[in-house]
Structure 1
Amino acid sequence: MSDLSGRTTIVVGASRGLGRGIATAFAEAGAPVVAVSRTAAPFDEPANGAGTIESEVVDAGDATVPASLIDRYEPQNIIVVAGATPHMRRLQEQTWETFSVNWETDVRITFQWLREALLKPLRPGSRVVVISSGAALGGSPLSGGYAGAKATQRFITGYAQDEANQAGLGITFTTVLPRFAPLTGVGRPAVRAYAERAGMSVEDFLAKAGPLLTPEIAGATLVDLVREDAAKVVPAYVMNGAGLQKLP
């Protein structure tokens, strides 16, 4: 598993933030990467020239897209990062439309991609990683239904692992729950909102948050996870700037 050169990796939501860092890291580790995003996002050539990145500008939430891309590229790794930026307001300031946006995007995308990974199915030894959020563990009172949607992503990933086990498919499904990543489009407004709620400066708030996660750290961490022996992989991890911590 240490050699990723023959393992096509689809990164769903690769245009920015953690997804972009993950796509870049897999290419630099030698993998042929398919970077799926709704908007075009040019990538630099991998630093060591080992892997490649091919962009697919599509709507990952379109129900026809997962089957089409899985059939075309026959990936052995799928990393699902795509999702909506939550509306950062207190509960009473939300509308149902803003409250439910992550259910209609993040959960739907996860469901459709994991469904197709099972239906195809992916070849034995394949890995599917769903990027959820640490908010799934402690809640997120300023982001509407975000925390619940992220918890449901974890549930769906666990259900997919159960189905794969029952069918003897040999596919490993894993959920990774990142803590604050202040350099991303989702992280920046969240950090500002929660710092203000706590009556703190952004700098002081981040200083208390522990090791901070960056797209580059997320990419390197996910490469290591996919390289790990499947027998040693647990169903879910928290991820921060120090790497992964296993969840029970």
Structure 2
Amino acid sequence: MGVLEGRVAIVTGAARGVGAGIARAFAKEGARVVVVDLDEEGAAGVVAELTPYAEALALRCDIRDSAQVDACVASVVARFGSVDVLVNNAIDAVSARFEETTDDELDRVLDTGPKATLYFMRACFAHLRDSGYGGRVINLRSGSEPQGLAGFGAYVASKAAVAGLTRVAAREWGRHGITVNNLAPFVLSEGARSYFDERPEELEKIILKTMSVPRLGDAEHDVGRAAVYLAGPDASYVTGVTLSVDGGGSFFS
């Protein structure tokens, strides 16, 4: 029996990358996983991978729209009866120099970052509170915050805001049996790969050479397993923290 047997987990942005890796790790530990993404085809493909291990469901949701988020969570509860774990992974990351960042780019990153994170947490609160396992929220943070990574001003601001929401929710929701933590991984998303493909010297000299374990992380076996820990029974006394899964590339104080 897996350590997440019986739990219902929502993972946003899970059609690919880190979200898909977390979904795979959860399913292999027995969780029923809801793959939330705008990419219906990609989400369905991940669900097909998960079903040999556990029941899974793909849901399309524009996380910028709080009404769609509420409807998404309601659909999960109608299907599975509860929400025990929420992973806020999805974000529309953009890269642009600080002075060249447009209003639209800033809105996109903030709408899909802290605002969507709050929407999902708010929609899931009552179900997490009533979870028989103890509710778990895992928000995705980034090592780009302490690094002040050039070219990602809006993204860094968005992730810093998510970290603030995590701290407040950890304070408020701990009394309801809900833990709220951050994961800060280093796995190259498609967007990040595109950025570094144009700047290979930055990946090698600025990032890989600053890491204590100089390799790229694996979405399932590195990040997903860390998420399993935070979602499972061994982390019931851990809240309000940031767990870096980035080979020692960043240290959060």
For the aligned pair, the TM-score class normalised by the smaller chain equals 0.7 to 0.9
Q: Is the 8 A contact 2:61 2:72 kept in 1?
A: no
Deviation at 1:136, TM superposition (A): 2.1
- Is 1:97 paired with 2:130? no
- Is 1:226 paired with 2:248? no
Give the stretch that moved more between structures: 49-58 or 6-15: 49-58
Q: Which of 54, 57, 70 does residue 57 from structure 2 map onto?
A: 54
Q: Go from structure 1 to structure 2 and tell me whether the alpha carbon gap of 1:157 and 1:97 turns closer, same or farther (over 3 Å shift).
A: same
Q: Is the 8 A contact 1:114 1:157 kept in 2?
A: no
Q: Go from structure 1 to structure 2 and tell me whether the alpha carbon gap of 1:96 and 1:140 turns closer, same or farther (over 3 Å shift).
A: farther
Q: Which of 46, 49, 52 does residue 45 from structure 1 map onto?
A: 49
- Which residue of 1 is the match for residue 167 of structure 2? 158
Paired residue type of 1:26: F
- Is 1:118 paired with 2:125? yes
Structure 1 alignment gaps of length 5 or more: none
Q: Which of 123, 147, 155 does residue 138 from structure 1 map onto?
A: 147
> TM-score, normalised to structure 1's length?
0.83
Deviation at 1:100, TM superposition (A): 4.0
Deviation at 1:106, TM superposition (A): 1.1
Q: Go from structure 1 to structure 2 and tell me whether the alpha carbon gap of 1:245 and 1:7 turns closer, same or farther (over 3 Å shift).
A: farther
- Kindly report structure 1 stretches of 4+ aligned residues shifted beyond 6 Å: none
Q: Which of 65, 81, 92 does residue 84 from structure 1 map onto?
A: 92
Distance in 1 (CA, whole Å) between partners of 2:61 and 2:120 is: 14
Give the stretch that moved more between structures: 55-64 or 223-232: 223-232
Taking only the aligned residue pairs, the percentage that are identical comes to 24
- Which residue of 1 is the match for residue 245 of structure 2? 239
C-alpha distance after superposition, 1:90-128 (max 9, x if no partner): 223332222443112212111111222335553251101
Q: Which secondary structure does the structure 2 equivalent of 1:30 belong to? A: coil
Q: Which secondary structure does the structure 1 equivalent of 2:190 belong to? A: coil
Give the stretch that moved more between structures: 36-45 or 90-99: 90-99
Q: Which secondary structure does the structure 1 equivalent of 2:237 belong to? A: helix
Q: Is the 8 A contact 1:36 1:60 kept in 2?
A: no
> TM-score, normalised to structure 2's length?
0.82
Deviation at 1:29, TM superposition (A): 1.4
Structure 2 alignment gaps of length 5 or more: none
Distance in 2 (CA, whole Å) between partners of 1:128 and 1:171 is: 7
Distance in 2 (CA, whole Å) between partners of 1:138 and 1:245 is: 7
Which of the pair is proportionally richer in helix? 2
Distance in 2 (CA, whole Å) between partners of 1:235 and 1:201 is: 29
- Which residue of 2 is the match for residue 129 of structure 1? 138
Deviation at 1:50, TM superposition (A): 3.0
Distance in 1 (CA, whole Å) between partners of 2:208 and 2:247 is: 13
- Which residue of 2 is the match for residue 12 of structure 1? 12
- Is 1:213 paired with 2:217? yes
- Which residue of 1 is the match for residue 73 of structure 2? 70
Q: How many residues align?
A: 237
State the superposition RMSD in angstroms.
2.7
Q: Which secondary structure does the structure 1 equivalent of 2:244 belong to? A: strand
Distance in 2 (CA, whole Å) between partners of 1:164 and 1:212 is: 34
